[in-house]
Amino acid sequence: MSFYRNFKNKEDLASCVIENVYKSSFKKYKSIMSENSSFNIKVKNLVKYKYKSSKGISKEFIDEILKSKYSQLKQEIDRLNKMSFIEVSNDFKKAQENEEIRQDLSLEFILFMLADINKKASDKELQKMYPSEEALILQLTKFFFYGILTNSDS
């Protein structure tokens, strides 16, 4: 009971949890991207992190978050996504300028497809093809990243 006194309602609690998860993930993302290694190695580290961080997340939780009926929660998710998208866009632009991302793909296309990955993770038909949410997320992440790199060495 005392736990809930710190929050106005369920939506406020969920918003706090999501913000903490995003902050933690974003901090790890920035840490990986600041490593003194090639973009290919950074991507491999991101894929490993994405897999480890997705372990134990239920399909129901993902679906509820992605299809939130709470406007405050939806706005918070959108704000955090925009913030991280700007950072990712800058990193991808730099990698493409350094010829670590394929030059024959437009950056706008790459970023559009990256944003579409989240929608794919909540696709019911696609979810049926995988034994777990982690397996699906790993497959989507590998498909995306290893398809845009100039030399994936995977």
- pLDDT-based confidence at residue 154 (cuts at 50, 70, 90): very low
10 occurs within a structural domain: no
**Has this prediction a pTM greater than 0.95?**
no
Selection from 71-75, 85-89, 140-144 with the highest mean pLDDT? 85-89
- The CA-CA-CA angle for residues 140, 133, 106, to 5°, reads 20
Q: What is the pLDDT of residue 36?
A: 94
Helix or strand (DSSP H, E) at 153: none
Q: In sequence order, what E strands does 46-106 have?
A: none
139 occurs within a structural domain: yes
How far apart CA 92 and CA 105 sit, in angstroms, is 12
Q: What is the domain count for the chain?
A: 1
Q: 55: helix, coil or strand?
A: coil
134 occurs within a structural domain: yes
Retrieve residue 61's tokens.
């939780």
For 100, the domain range is 40-148
